[in-house]
Every structure is written in structure tokens, then in C-alpha cells.
Amino acid sequence: MAALTVAPVKGHEAAVEMADAAKVWLQSLSKEQRSQATFELTDKERENWHFIPKPFEGEGMRGGLTLKDMEPQQRHLAFALLSSGMSHRGFLTSTQIMSLEHVLWEMEQDAKRDTMMYYVSIFGKPGSDAWGWRFEGHHLSINFTIADGKVTSATPNFFASNPGEILEGPRKGLRVLAAEEDVARELVQSLSDEQKAKAIVEEKAPRDILTSAEPTVESLGDAGLTWGDLTKEQRQGLRELIHVYVHRIRSEVAKDDLAAIKEAGMDKIVFAWAGGIEKGDPHYYRVQGPTFLIEYANTQNNANHVHAVWRDFAGDFGRDVLKEHYQAHHKKDK
């Protein structure tokens, strides 16, 4: 990510807890399981991320060890690793997203809908100078990078929900990503006509997030409503929306990421919307600053299928920090 002002003790605690959880999980695995679960930090699999149910065999498959291929006690340890990186709400949301696979199976009777087809991958050696891990499957991709004893990256971070709202059955009314939708809609509905003319960049929403699952992302342009165009109350609403995404992860790491966003310039943040602004309308929005991008789309399945991602332009997969780390390491070796 961008240069972070990491609190030494808290950052160390997060990194240590992640490393400990990863080590315990790896120790529980058989030799064959470990060979599936582990990769070099520089392996191309590191950036082979996606949010679809990728094929289990053949070219383009997702790497890692699935929950399905773990023993029950190993699954508990895998969830302990997931918990080490997430806030309480983030962990709850992650597990609810996975549970929706059963809802889809009931609706579609499709074998690819499976709550156990989530993959855990370790990149590098936990506790070493630089390593990372991923927890990923349909509609969920969580990525962390740790370098020099600090959690330096928590992106890409992708959450989705299908159905966006469960319309029938025992869980009728559940909206797993309610905050991602409601906070943004409250903001756009609070805008004056003049503000809406700037913020609503397209009458029709795109079918999905524009960046898809690209390994790297760039600015999507400056169209939209700037921080300076907002009232004090609206700025608080936009700040709350950013917090919805960043606070998916544990608080001390989220605090550092929010500090980096502020340091890069709140006045440079732009909010853009596409589509209708009433509940049930297909809609899209993005929040973009100098260092980060938030993208959201809810257009598919009659606007009841949510995709919501948080990216870092330079720091996805810890690219910027790892580059500095390797440069410093090589210099020391000379």
C-alpha cells in the first residue's frame, strides 16, 4: 500500500498472530496437503485471484487447499487464520458469503455451488521477513501481505452477495452486504440536483465492476463529485462509506490504511454513481482517491447480486512495500 504510519506494537501483534495461525494450520496438514497449500511469495499464483467459481482442474484453475479437502479440525484452524486478519464484522460477513453458496445450490441445483470450495493459500514462509496468504472462493477474496514484521497490504479485498437479499425461505430478508448499499444510497440521495449532475456519471449502470479481477488497477478517471463539493454532513457519509470497506479487516491494520488515505489527501477523493438511486434500481458507484479504489455494482439478477471490492493502486499484494523490502535486502547482501 501507500506509505503507512504503522504503530509498531499493534502492527507487530497483527503480523505475529497471522504467522502463528498460519504455522499451526500448516503443521496440521499432511505433506500432500502442504504441497497444495504453499507457494513461493514470487509465484505467479500470488496474483491469480478471482471471485468466480474457477475450474478445479486444468488451465486457469485456482491454487490452494480447499476446505473440502481438509479434515474437520483443519478447517477450524483455517478459519482461525481467516479470523486473524478480519474485524468481527468482516469475519461474520465472510462466513455469511460462503453460506450463500448453499442458498444458490437450493435455487439452482448446480454442483459448483459448494460452501466447502474455498481455498487457503500461503505464499512464502509464515513469520519470515516477507510472506502472504489468501482465503478465496466464489464471491470472496481476502489477501494479506506481511513484510518486516508488519501487515503491509490487505488488498485486493472482494466481497459479494448473491442473492443480495434473500427473498424467501428460512433466511428471508438477510442482506449480507447491506451497509455497502445503504450507506452509499443515503449519500447519493442526500445530494442536491446540482451535486447529482456531477456525481451521476451515467444514467445506466455497467453490468459489473469495471476493474473485474485484474491483477493491477489504475485510476478510472476524475468524473464525479469531489470531496470539496460535499457538505460537512455529506463528507461524514462518504467517510462512513470508506470505513465500511476498510473496516472489513482488523482494526489496527484498518487504522493504518485510513491514515494512508488521509495522508494522500481527502480533498482528492471523488465519488461517482451510475444508474438509479432508488432501492431496487440497478446501480453502480465508486470512491477513488490517489491511492485506492472502491467499486460496487448491483445490476445482475434484477439488481439483487452485489459485487464490492477495495483495491490499492500501488499496493495490491504488497507490491510497493515488497519492492522496497527486496531492494533493501539486496543492498545488504552486496
User: What is the spatial distance between Cα 114 and Cα 137, in angstroms, rounded to a whole number?
Assistant: 10
On the question of pLDDT at 157 being above 60, the answer is yes
pLDDT at 141: 98
Across the chain, mean pLDDT equals 92
Closest CA to 34 of 23, 46, 45, 47: 23
User: What is the spatial distance between Cα 182 and Cα 241, in angstroms, rounded to a whole number?
Assistant: 9
On the question of pLDDT at 60 being above 70, the answer is no
Confidence of residue 22 (pLDDT cuts 50, 70, 90): very high
In this structure, what C-alpha cell is assigned to residue 105? 445450490
User: 240-269: per-residue pLDDT in tens?
Assistant: 999 999 999 999 999 999 999 999 999 999
Residues 288, 14, 75, 58, Cα dihedral to 10°: 50
Tell me the pTM: 0.93
Confidence of residue 327 (pLDDT cuts 50, 70, 90): low
User: What is the spatial distance between Cα 316 and Cα 213, in angstroms, rounded to a whole number?
Assistant: 12
- Average of per-residue pLDDT across 86-108: 96
With contact defined as beta carbons under 8 Å apart, do 206 and 297 qualify?
A: yes
Count how many Cα atoms sit within 13 Å of the Cα of residue 29 in the half-sphere of its side chain. Answer: 26
Question: Could you tell me the residue ranges of all domains in the chain?
Answer: 8-163, 178-318
With contact defined as beta carbons under 8 Å apart, do 327 and 185 qualify?
A: no
On the question of pLDDT at 10 being above 90, the answer is no
Strand segments (E) across the chain: 38-39, 65-66, 118-123, 130-137, 140-147, 150-153, 157-161, 200-202, 225-226, 270-275, 283-288, 292-298, 306-312
Helix (H, G, I), strand (E, B) or coil at 209: coil
Closest CA to 125 of 113, 133, 114, 117: 133
